[in-house]
């Protein structure tokens, strides 16, 4: 286990960096255009990769093999094959000055307030459990490193870790996202913070994947009965076949990249309108890299843990088993 004081200090430092970047970027004039805007836009779209990518994809792959890839395949197909549709969606959104997916749907029905209210209610009902799962995953990651605790160390008057996390996320959103909701105003600070997080997520995940590959190689070299590394790596994915469920999830994921409130906002509201061509390749490559990195992590986790139990936390348990505290903290 890692000291709770160290985890809290590390977390506060990381959050301070995000707050600083968001604050600095919000100081620029509203109409200022960064030459890195296409890259920032592409990275901000990767907000699609939530804690499910870190935990759920690995856990799902350990049980269902290639089934996890459906969540990535849907968005990749949309961006690679339906770029004209996305470009038109963004153009219409800009022309109608919409700020949310409910707004956009309502404009298709004569700007009906009733349609907007229904769409908002559906989004709310669908999003609240989803956000709760994200917060639960972050709290679970904290407890995986620090050990089960009834409260955060030094903050005994807080009920639990998830509550503290919720407050921090709410404050960040209020300061850099919800203060102004205007179709003509972009939340530069929040988008840059999301872009930085996207880079950190990918680097950390690749570091764990590299660690997993070294574990697999070590198993193969030091065990006479162990098969070659490639066989070990692909073994969790052998007993799998295409099902209608796989294609259903591909369709759902393809729809999610457009209709999830956060995805629509980042793609259609925060963008300038001309970045979709670069995002088409950048976003697809980003998802593809993530999906490939899942493979060695799952294989090493199953080999090390001798089964898929608690596979959702392989990305944290692998570094901890190997004694790599630094990697575990970076991943967290």
Per-residue pLDDT tens for 245-281? 889 999 999 998 888 888 888 888 887 777 888 888 9
Average pLDDT over residues 107-126: 88
- Give me the percent of the chain exceeding a pLDDT of 90: 23
Q: How far apart are CA 290 and CA 219, in angstroms?
A: 24
- At 150, the pLDDT band (50, 70, 90 cuts) reads very low
Q: How far apart are CA 247 and CA 138, in angstroms?
A: 29
Average pLDDT over residues 278-288: 92
Residue 63 has pLDDT above 60, yes or no: yes
Tokens found for residue 329 = 């903290």
What backbone torsions phi and psi does residue 314 show, to the nearest 5 degrees?
-55, -40
Helix 188-222 × helix 276-305 angle, to 10°: 40
pLDDT of residue 111: 84
Q: How far apart are CA 139 and CA 160, in angstroms?
A: 9
Cβ atoms of 316 and 300 within 8 Å: the answer is no
Q: How far apart are CA 162 and CA 140, in angstroms?
A: 9
Average pLDDT over residues 210-233: 85
pLDDT of residue 148: 62
Indicate the pTM of the whole model: 0.85
pLDDT of residue 64: 86
> Could you identify the residue written with the tokens 């209020």?
174
pLDDT of residue 235: 83
Q: How far apart are CA 99 and CA 183, in angstroms?
A: 5
Average pLDDT over residues 140-164: 66
- Give me the percent of the chain exceeding a pLDDT of 70: 90
Evaluated on CA atoms 315, 291, 22, 184, the torsion sign reads negative
Neighbours of 195 (CB within 10 A): 22
Residue 140 has pLDDT above 60, yes or no: yes
pLDDT of residue 82: 92
Cβ atoms of 138 and 172 within 8 Å: the answer is no
- Give the single-character DSSP code of 65: G
Residue 189, H or E segment: helix 188-222
Cβ atoms of 66 and 237 within 8 Å: the answer is yes
Tokens found for residue 56 = 């759920």
More confident of the two residues 66 and 34: 66
- What is the three-class DSSP state of 328? helix
């Amino acid at each position: 286990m890692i000291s709770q004081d160290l985890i809290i200090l590390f977390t506060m430092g990381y959050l301070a960096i995000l707050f600083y970047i968001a604050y600095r970027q919000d100081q620029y004039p509203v109409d200022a255009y960064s030459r890195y805007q296409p890259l920032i836009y592409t990275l901000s779209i990767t907000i699609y990769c939530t804690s499910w990518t870190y935990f759920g994809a690995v856990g799902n792959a350990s049980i269902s093999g290639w089934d996890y890839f459906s969540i990535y395949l849907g968005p990749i197909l949309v961006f690679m094959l339906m770029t004209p549709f996305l470009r038109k969606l963004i153009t219409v959104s800009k022309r109608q000055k919409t700020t949310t997916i409910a707004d956009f749907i309502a404009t298709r029905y004569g700007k009906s307030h009733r349609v907007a209210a229904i769409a908002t209610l559906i989004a709310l009902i669908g999003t609240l459990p989803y956000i709760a799962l994200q917060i639960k995953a972050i709290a679970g990651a904290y407890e995986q490193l620090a050990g089960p605790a009834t409260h955060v160390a030094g903050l005994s008057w807080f009920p639990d870790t998830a509550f503290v996390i919720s407050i921090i996320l709410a404050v960040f959103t209020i300061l850099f996202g919800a203060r102004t909701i205007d179709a003509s105003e972009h939340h530069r600070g929040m988008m840059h913070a999301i872009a930085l997080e996207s880079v950190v997520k990918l680097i950390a995940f690749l570091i764990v994947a590299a660690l997993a590959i070294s574990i697999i190689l070590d198993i193969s070299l030091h065990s006479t009965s162990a098969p070659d590394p490639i066989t070990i790596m692909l073994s969790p994915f052998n007993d799998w076949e295409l099902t209608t469920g796989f294609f259903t999830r591909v369709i759902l994921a393809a729809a999610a990249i457009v209709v999830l409130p956060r995805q629509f906002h980042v793609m259609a509201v925060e963008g300038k309108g001309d970045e979709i061509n670069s995002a088409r390749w950048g976003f697809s490559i980003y998802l593809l890299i993530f999906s490939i990195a899942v493979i060695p992590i799952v294989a090493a986790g199953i080999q090390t843990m001798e089964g898929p139990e608690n596979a959702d936390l392989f990305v944290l348990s692998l570094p901890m088993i190997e004694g790599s505290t630094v990697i575990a903290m970076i991943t967290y």
